Amino acid sequence: MDIIRENHINSVLILRQDRIGDLIVSETFVRKLGEKYPLLKIDILLGKRNNNAKFIVQDYVNSVLIYHQKPVKDIANLLKLRNHYDLVIDLLDKPSRTSQFIRKILKPRFTAGFDYELNKDYDFKVQALSRLEYHIVERTSKLLELFDYDLSKLDYKYKIKTLPTKSETVKSIKSKGNKLFIINISGSHESRNWGVENYISFIKLVEREYPAYAFLLLYTGDLSQQAQEIAQTTGAIAHPLIPSFEEYVSVLSEADFILTPDTAAVHIASAFDIPQVCLFARNIHKITADELPWYPYKSQYYAFGEEDDNMKCIAPQAVFDAIKDVI
């Protein structure tokens, strides 16, 4: 099936108005669509939470639009685009009232998405893969079936193009011949905070056995005090606050090893094939929700999560023991 050529489609809008991690794992789909149809007008709609990561897909689209989650402004902007697109593609692999609202206002000739019980209004559908058996990048990329892709031959690995880092801190560490161990202490919620004492204990364990590593702490403004406390008690360096997400990616790309409780950083590290420790605020050994944890895709990782969903209960010694023979 090739719905673009069969239906004389000239313009496409991709809906991805959610989080940074969702955009990263959608890079494969957007890139493959752009490669297959170089003359097709492809736009993408991002949201206020992932617009700062637009550079990840910008090379493969004509325009990046923003859904601001401000009803009056969004409706006005969408009405200007009514009947503008031949096809709207919804990348969300679960029902979304927001996506449904956007599609109804835009009134494209055709719509495409995943065949869910509550998503029966698409003109072109693919059966969604199991959320308990398949990685999110594979689930998202399944929509490429509609564009005559043989998924059995597809390389799903997502990529991130980025510029060399401007960080003088990273350059200084590298110039001294140290290996760079980046610890991102910021998660999207307090439940994803491993805790100052755990970070200190882990860093000291590695420092004692592997002095060739230099530790670099990345964090958001609300965790500046915690970062300084960790740095003052260990040999770690608290990196100055990074001004843009693109530079944040550039800094992460320089790491030899990464530890993070944040799934966006998980996918970034995976894109650069950097070994990592992923900390989850859930029991990863007993999946009771409707989805697998967002593990890295086809890269080396060590995942940890506790039975009571309390990240602070993950023992630094256990993390160190898991990686000590590979770092």
Checking if the pLDDT of 183 tops 70, the result is yes
| Higher local confidence (pLDDT), 30 or 283 | 30
Checking if the pLDDT of 293 tops 90, the result is no
User: Residue 20 is encoded by which pair of tokens?
Assistant: 């940074």
Checking if the pLDDT of 158 tops 90, the result is yes
| Higher local confidence (pLDDT), 118 or 215 | 215
Question: Closest Cα to residue 169, out of 95, 67, 237, 68?
Answer: 237
Question: Could you tell me what percentage of the chain is helix, strand and coil, using 3-state DSSP and rounding each to the nearest 5?
Answer: 40, 20, 40
Question: Closest Cα to residue 11, out of 78, 58, 66, 81?
Answer: 81
Question: Closest Cα to residue 264, out of 197, 175, 184, 196?
Answer: 184
CA distance 28 to 85: 22
Residue 73 three-state SS: helix
Reported as a single tens digit per residue, the pLDDT across 294-304 is 899 999 999 99
Reported as a single tens digit per residue, the pLDDT across 41-58 is 999 999 999 999 999 999
pTM recorded for the entire structure: 0.93
Local confidence band at 118 (pLDDT 50, 70, 90 cut-offs): low
> What's the confidence (pLDDT) of residue 105?
97
Phi/psi for 19 (5° steps) reads -115, 170
Axis-axis angle for helices 263-271, 245-252 (nearest 10) = 60
Percent of the chain with pLDDT over 90: 86
Phi/psi for 225 (5° steps) reads -65, -40
Question: How many residues are listed for the chain in this entry?
Answer: 327
Structural contact between residues 298 and 157, judged by C-beta atoms closer than 8 angstroms: yes
| Higher local confidence (pLDDT), 285 or 227 | 227
Reported as a single tens digit per residue, the pLDDT across 15-44 is 999 999 999 999 999 999 999 999 999 999
Q: Kindly state the average pLDDT of the residues 243-267.
A: 97
Percent of the chain with pLDDT over 70: 98
Structural contact between residues 42 and 71, judged by C-beta atoms closer than 8 angstroms: no
CA distance 59 to 70: 28
